Amino acid sequence: MTPMPNFSLEGKTALITGAGRGIGRAIADVYAQAGAKVYLCARTASEVEAAAAEITAAGYKAEARACDVTDVAAFRALVEALPRLDIFVNNAGVNRPKLQLEVTEEDFDVVVGLNLRAAFFALQSVTRKMKADGGGGSVINMSSQMGHIGCEKRALYCATKWGLEGLTKSVAVELAPHRIRVNTICPTFIETALTRPYFEDPAFLEFCMSKIKLGRLGQVDDITGAALYLASDASSLMTGSAVMLDGGWTAE
């Protein structure tokens, strides 16, 4: 019989940024349950320390690493100090929804600084280590459906996520000879503590529901299955691709 796909992360090590809450925290939980040792990274030490403590209390392997990923040198040092690294989820991100005509230089610097600049150099630090270690690896860049479409009040955010999509494809080509795979996950609007206030606006909620063909907002556990697939050997032939978790938003 054809063997079952291997979704186990047993013996692997994963680093997740933006892991104190929301999508990043959920991915860390699932990776730990799949057998990986997880390093949870975020700039708020109390959040990742509490998250790591909960994971270890449940019998799994986790450690906290407080770091602001916009500090390129600090994040590089964090990565270089890890004993090994098989999986990286480049998840930290920010949004400031505004019409393009209203975006300030400070808005630009904050959103591009985290979503693209920090993501680029985090990716660089991780893939340098993976290449040097020689064991291959899987990188998951957390993108968005907004990396494939345009949307009102999302010009700045779209610019960063379209950039991340192009970066992913280019790096996937460069690193394939080293057995390092690079893909993106592209969610629609996911209901978290951070995004929930958006949906208190009835007009915005109605707009989202008109676009999401499956008729509901995303939840963090809609993301974790794809994240596990991309991290595992089940996706061993997949690189330079985008996994659309948008409820059909981009289908038309």
pLDDT digits 0-9 by tens, 161-186:
999 999 999 999 999 999 999 999 99
**Pairwise CA distance, residues 243 & 186, whole Å:** 6
91 pLDDT band (50/70/90 cuts)? very high
Domain extent at residue 229 = 13-242
For range 11-36, the mean pLDDT: 97
DSSP codes, the chain:
-PPPP----TT-EEEEESTTSHHHHHHHHHHHHTT-EEEEEES-HHHHHHHHHHHHHTT-EEEEEE--TT-HHHHHHHHHHSS--SEEEE-------B-GGG--HHHHHHHHIIIIIIHHHHHHHHHHHHHHHTS-EEEEEE--GGGTS--TTBHHHHHHHHHHHHHHHHHHHHHGGGTEEEEEEEE--B--TTTGGGGGSHHHHHHHHHH-TTSS-B-THHHHHHHHHHHSGGGTT--S-EEEESTTGGG-
| CA distances for 171 relative to 3, 164, 180, angstroms | 31, 10, 9
Is residue 8 situated within a structural domain? Answer: no
Question: Is 90 exceeded by the pLDDT of residue 25?
Answer: yes
pLDDT of residue 173: 98
Is residue 4 situated within a structural domain? Answer: no
195 pLDDT band (50/70/90 cuts)? confident
Question: Is 90 exceeded by the pLDDT of residue 44?
Answer: yes
For range 48-72, the mean pLDDT: 98
pLDDT of residue 142: 98
Question: Is 90 exceeded by the pLDDT of residue 198?
Answer: no
Is residue 191 situated within a structural domain? Answer: yes
Question: Is 90 exceeded by the pLDDT of residue 22?
Answer: yes
Is residue 104 situated within a structural domain? Answer: yes
Number of domains in the chain: 1
pLDDT of residue 193: 82
Name the average pLDDT for the chain.
97
Is residue 5 situated within a structural domain? Answer: no
Is residue 80 situated within a structural domain? Answer: yes
Is residue 89 situated within a structural domain? Answer: yes
pTM: 0.97
pLDDT digits 0-9 by tens, 127-171:
999 999 999 999 999 999 999 999 999 999 999 999 999 999 999
| CA distances for 79 relative to 13, 88, 100, angstroms | 12, 10, 36
Q: Supply the residues annotated as catalytic.
A: 157
- Structure token pair of residue 8: 């186990």
Question: Is 90 exceeded by the pLDDT of residue 101?
Answer: yes
Is residue 247 situated within a structural domain? Answer: no
CATH number at residue 206: 3.40.50.720
